Chains A and B, each alone.
Chain A
Amino acid sequence: MTWIAIQMLMGDRAKYLGIVAGITFAALLIAQQASIALGLLLRTTAHIQDIADADIWVMDPNVQFIDEFKPLSENALHRVRGVPGVAWAVPIYKGQGRLKLAVGQLDKKKAKYQQSVVLGLDDATLVGAPRQILLGSLADLRKPDAVIIDESGYRYLWPNEPLAVGRELEMNDHRAVVVGICKASETFQTFPIFYCRYRQALRYVPQERKAMSAILVGVEQGVSKEDVCRRIMEQTALKPLRAGDPPRPGLKALTHEQFIASTLMYFVRRTGIVINFGITVSLGFLVGCAVAGQTFYAFTLENLPQFGSLKAMGASNLRIVGMVLTQALMAGLIGYGLGVGVAALFGQIMTTSSRLAFYMPWHVLVGTGAAVGLIVVLASLVSVYKVLVLEPAAIFRG
């Protein structure tokens, strides 16, 4: 019986391809768009992930995500160092500066400007330094005016040129020399990233009264991170304005994971990324339903006489439903495989040849599978109804 169902399906080449194409298109669109959205969201936390040494990030209580810090007073550093359970605490600077290429170029039209991210690492320990240096050495960061640039930033600023150290540029009227090239995770804003010493960074970006973006904290062995966070927040809290009120928050301490979650949540809630990709994904679902569903329905309609004969020959309704489901399932499986495969191929090609954000964890595959399953079930429901109410004798009439 299953065999007959498959024969029936394959027999009508055009409709068979139409159903498979509809499902493939839907699966491709759902998987690809979901992966791009996840890739983009993942990038928003790139800086936090790259700074894996820190157990805890301490910042102003109103900070919600990594791209908008409110500077802290340098005193905060010493207050955090005094909290029990804190093994070490160092400052970090993160800001945006404008760099000028073609230093010494007198023709103004040839000067090139570019926004960039400046990360200032603690002068003594360089905590937060890039993990993987492709060229040069991390120790060179101690040289005067030294900066390390990330690889994709280098390729953006000097396209088609070999990686080389020693290039000069200017930030906020101060000289910067590239002493190393490192690998950094791709960021959401895609600006080139410059690592340098904390004191150096303050010169590269125009300054306000306070400068320190956040404090990175290492926890003593055997103490839980959450405990230390709580203690930091308690100890640094400010006195209430009126007697009897609860203390005002002084500093906020988040573990590495909490800060990632907080940044992600900010982008999910405050930006249109999720809605935007959500719309395209649901459109993909609709296209799949519309094309596959309608073609499948037309296919069943045309094959009604066959189903009628089978019924007349004594096939039970259950059997017939099984046949329709087999047909739908088969088209669904093939379409799903093709769609997800093409999406993965697209991601593979795009991530190697360009800087497109693409991240396809297994959840995307499962989700797409569920969506395709739903499409298949919806598409066959309408058809099953037609077959069930069919009067076997009807086909022999007329």
Chain B
Amino acid sequence: MSWIAWKMLTGNRAKYYAIIFGISFAVMLMSEQSAIFTGLMRNTSSTIRDISGADIWVMDPSVQFIDDITPLSDNAVYQVRGVPGVAWAVRFYDGKARAQFPEGHFKQFIVLGLDDQTLVGAPRKMLLGSLADLRRPDGVVLDESGYRYLYPGQPLQIGRVFEMNDRRAEIVGICEASPTFQTFPIVYTTYSRAVHYAAQERRSLSFVLAKTEEGVPLEEVCRRIEEQTGLMAMSPSEFAWRTIAYYLIQTGIPVNFGITVLLGFVIGAAIAGQTFYLFTIDNLKQFGALKAMGVDNRQLVGMVLLQGAVVGMLGYMIGLGLGSAFMELVTLQLRSRGLPPANFMAWPIPLGTGLAAALIVFASALISLRRVLALEPAAVFR
């Protein structure tokens, strides 16, 4: 019986392809848009994830996400150091500055200032130069995609010079950094230099990075810091999620991508569903003949479902493959131009699109089944 169903399906070449096309289109669009969306959301918290070593971030209580910084007084670092359970605490600067190049053009940068002595928060992977060179006068480390954006088509090379806030900066190293949401190039430098690279307010300390003593629970230390200093303290993952939640709730990004994903689903359902229905109508005669030969309704349902499952599986795999391939191509393309890609195909995406594809197939099979089940076997012979 399954063999007949299979033959029936592949026999009508045009409709067979159209159904598979509909489903793969839907799956491709949904998976690709979801990957861009999760990538964008992940990018918003890149700076937090890139900083290793510290397990507590201390900030002003009004801070809602990482790009919304209320500077602290320089005293804050000493206050945090005085809290029991804190092994060490260092200063961290996160701000923006405008870089001026010898050729005349300018570009907004993200400036990260690391504690002068310990360089806590330094990039994990250096591609060129060494981290210790940050101690040289005017030394900064630039991230790779920023370099590719600023000097397109040129080999990685240290020693280039530019200006920020009328001060000289020399690239002494190139590092790898996760792509950021704001797409600006990132420069790492020491804290004392970073505060001069950005325009100054009365206060400049963005965050205090702290480490708990061994054996003391993190939550306990955070609570003590908040109690003793009136500042806000949380773990990196908590801060990252707070940042992501801000973008989810306060911006139109989820709605925007949600609409496209939904459209993908509707288009897929419309094309695949309608074609599947037309296909079943075309084959009503065959189904009727089978019924007349004594095939019971359950077997017919099985046949239709099998046809649905075959096209569903094929469409899903083709769509997911195309979607991933497309994302990889775009990512490569963006990377070569120095633009940070937003691409994160988390495992729930293939799972979710799989469910959506199954839903499309199941719904279209249901509509078609109604016609098959209500079919009077004798009708086909009249």
Mark A residues whose CB is within 8 Å of B.
22, 29, 61-62, 68, 70, 98, 108-109, 111-113, 115, 172-173, 205-209, 248, 276, 279-280, 283-284, 286-287, 290-291, 294-295, 297-298
Contact = CB atoms under 8 A, between A and B. Distances in A.
A287 B60 contact: no
Given A62-B104, A287-B263, A290-B274, 12 more contacts: A22-B270, A70-B98, A108-B60, A115-B68, A173-B202, A248-B104, A280-B263, A286-B267, A287-B266, A290-B22, A291-B270, A294-B270
Contacts of A172: 201-202
B28 interface: no
B200 interface: yes
A206 B256 contact: no
Contacts of B259: 280
A173 B271 contact: no
Given A172-B201, A208-B199, A108 B274 contact: no
A396 to B, nearest CB: 16
Interface of B: 22, 29, 60-62, 68, 70, 98, 100, 104-106, 108, 165-166, 199-202, 230, 256, 259-260, 263-264, 266-267, 270-271, 274-275, 278, 281
A66 B380 CA distance: 72
Given A280-B259, A295-B274, A208 B166 contact: yes
B260 A283 contact: yes
Contact of A111 (B62, B264, B270): B62
A98 B60 CA distance: 14
The 8 closest A-B pairs by CB, nearest first: A206-B199, A294-B274, A283-B263, A109-B61, A206-B201, A290-B271, A62-B105, A291-B270
Contact of A68 (B108, B199, B281): B108
Counting chain A CB atoms within 10 Å of each CB, which of B62, B108, B275, B281 scores highest? B62
Contact of A109 (B62, B108, B271): B62
A280 B201 contact: no
A19 to B, nearest CB: 12
Contacts of B275: 294
Nearest to B264: A283
A276 B274 CA distance: 28
Contacts of B98: 70, 208
A32 to B, nearest CB: 10
Contacts of A287: 263, 266-267, 270
Contacts of A115: 68
A36 to B, nearest CB: 10
B262 to A, nearest CB: 10
Contacts of A68: 108
Contacts of A22: 270
Contacts of A111: 62
Nearest to A102: B62
27 contacts: A22-B270, A29-B263, A70-B98, A70-B106, A108-B60, A108-B61, A108-B62, A111-B62, A113-B68, A173-B202, A206-B199, A206-B200, A208-B166, A208-B199, A276-B256, A280-B259, A280-B263, A283-B263, A287-B266, A287-B267, A287-B270, A291-B270, A294-B270, A294-B271, A295-B274, A298-B274, A298-B281
A279 B32 CA distance: 13
A209 B62 contact: no
A61 B103 CA distance: 12
Contacts of B270: 22, 287, 290-291, 294
A24 B93 CA distance: 53
Nearest to A60: B106
A76 B22 CA distance: 61
B165 A208 contact: yes
Contacts of A248: 104
A206 B97 CA distance: 12
Nearest to A286: B267
Nearest to A25: B266
Q: Which of A62, A111, A279: most chain B CB closer than 10 A?
A: A62
A258 B197 CA distance: 33
A116 B100 CA distance: 25
B267 A283 contact: yes
Nearest to B275: A294
Contacts of A284: 263
B104 A61 contact: yes
Nearest to A287: B267
A113 B165 CA distance: 25
Contacts of B281: 298
Contacts of A108: 60-62, 230
Contacts of B100: 70
Nearest to B104: A62
A112 B62 contact: yes
A115 B270 CA distance: 45
A139 to B, nearest CB: 31
Nearest to B164: A208
A305 to B, nearest CB: 15
B70 A113 contact: yes
A205 B199 CA distance: 9
